[in-house]
Amino acid sequence: MATPERFRRLWETLLPVGRDPAGGWVRYSWSEADLACRRWFAEQAAARDLVLETDRNGNLFAWWGDPRAPDAVVTGSHLDSVPHGGAYDGPLGVVSALLAVDVLRERGVRPRRPVAVAVFTEEEGSRFGVACLGSRLLTGAIDPDHVRTLRDLDGVSLAGAMAAAGVAPEGIGPDPERLARIGAFVELHIEQGRRLVELDAPVGVASAIWPHGRWRMDITGEGNHAGTTRMSDRRDPMLTAAYAVLAANKEARLRGCHATVGRIEVTPNATNAVPASVVAWLDARAPDRAALEALVEAVRVRVRERAGRDGTTVTMTAESVTPPVEFDAGLRDRLSGLLGAPVLPTAAGHDAGVLAAHVPAAMLFVRNPTGVSHAPGEAATDEDCAAGVAALADVLAELAG
Ligand code: GLV
Ligand code: MN
Ligand code: MN
């Protein structure tokens, strides 16, 4: 049975991995912490006699049933994190999937379809910049030659990081044969908001994901002395970046969208120097594709115009753009009926959203009392997590049992 105590016992075996003294969890893909998460997953798979596979993109699959058989029911999420993120975003879906397998076995369920627990690589894009990297590669949504050249902040390429972890980077890319064997994908995830609190429900079913993306703004000016350079002589890229932050916020508010500049890099990053250049990342999300395009275009126009006044130059490059996702309506209705759970949309990206373009996909959300996510304040009670496990077990039994 899915109990809070059982959830807690397994949860605590993963909890210390990547916990950062400065707060939250730091589990970047292919880092020491990520490798420890992968070892943890391998141990959990072995303890359950699940057959572990690492696919050519570094995604992990632990199989209950024949990995070669068609029409598999796959469930899972990711173990990587944003910088100093919360505990639940990603790991809750993996831990719940393992526990759901335990519950089904105890119930004596013998699946007609193979079941797999999956862990996708670099869902957050925190190291190499592209969100849902593992699922995008698997589904062919991104060019592997481009991906091999992606570099982290220390200049390490994705190819180098994978090779150092013992996974051949030459093999990354679309895996149509594997994808064709997935008959359905269900991702359980912490809710990243408070809708389930408002609805007084421990578990919900996803309806859709807002289109969203990341744009890198490279702003170049002229490095100079902070004390001696006359204000009128400056070409300060920080002014353009500051304006970009405000413009993004204003345009998003006016349009009922979301826009954030949460990351900025300043060169040379000296207190007594006018910066030479600034890189700022825009994260933009909107209810529909046209609104997203209009939002990003409005920010682009405003920032260009401001750069003209600042004597700087700006280029805006899309790093990853995700189209809107409508989850499979049949599956959504079947699951919400089965669970008696409310249906809600989200503006967060997920591997389930990437897979949804290829296989019937669904998501379950577990109530988050703080509503906080991508920060250490992310929360769930063990009771709600146990309810999530029970719901996922019911879903797997319905689909595969
Ligand atoms: C993923 O968590 C995202 O929406 O950024
Ligand atoms: Mn996330
Ligand atoms: Mn996530």
pLDDT of residue 97: 99
Per-residue pLDDT, averaged over 306-323, amounts to 96
Pairwise CA distance, residues 365 & 206, whole Å: 7
- The overall average pLDDT reported for the chain is 97
Give residue 121's pLDDT band: very low, low, confident or very high (50, 70, 90): very high
Q: What is the pLDDT of residue 328?
A: 98
The pLDDT of 95-116, averaged and rounded, is: 98
What average pLDDT does the segment 74-100 reach? 98
At residue 16, the pLDDT reads 98
Cβ pair 252, 299 in contact under 8 A: no
Q: Token pair 């992310």 is at which residue?
A: 378
> By CB neighbour count within 10 A (0-12 exposed, 13-18 middle, 19+ buried), where does 269 fall?
exposed
Residue 4 pLDDT:
98
pLDDT for residue 110: 95
Average pLDDT of span 326-332: 98
pLDDT surpassing 90 at residue 8 = yes
pLDDT digits (tens, 9 = 90+) for 92-101: 999 999 999 9
Nearest to 392 by CA among 321, 339, 317: 339
- Give me the pLDDT at residue 196, please: 98
Instruction: Indicate whether 87 pLDDT > 90.
Output: yes
- For the cut 90, the answer to whether the pLDDT of residue 401 exceeds it is no
Question: What pLDDT does 116 receive?
Answer: 98
Say what the pLDDT of residue 106 is. 98
Contact between 222 and 275 under an 8 Å Cβ cutoff? The reply is no
- List, as one string, the DSSP characters of 187-238: EEEE-SSSHHHHHT-SEEEEEEE--EEEEEEEEE---EETTTS-GGG---HH
* Measured distance CA(42)–CA(119) in Å, rounded: 11
pLDDT, tens digit, for every residue of 140-185? Answer: 999 999 999 999 999 999 999 999 999 999 999 999 999 999 999 9
What's the gap in Å between 235 CA and the centre of ligand 2? 36
Q: Helix, strand, or coil here: 173?
A: coil
Which of ligand 1's atoms lies nearest the C-alpha of 374? 2
What is the 219 CA–ligand 3 centroid distance (Å)? Answer: 30
CA of 106 to the centre of ligand 2 (A): 32
Q: How far is CA 236 from CA 225, 233, 280, in A?
A: 11, 9, 14
- pLDDT by residue (tens digit) across 367-376? 999 999 999 9
How many angstroms separate the alpha carbon of residue 350 from the centre of ligand 1? 7
Ligand 1 atom nearest the C-alpha of 349 is 4
Condensed to tens digits (0 to 9), the pLDDT of residues 382-393 reads: 999 999 999 999
Name all residues whose Cβ lies below 6 A of ligand 1. 124, 131, 348-349
For ligand 1, pick from 135, 285, 319, 350 the residue to mutate: most ligand atoms within 8 Å of CB: 350
Pocket test of ligand 1: the residue of 322, 346, 374, 378 to mutate, having most ligand atoms within 8 Å of its CB, is: 374
- What pLDDT does 253 receive? 98
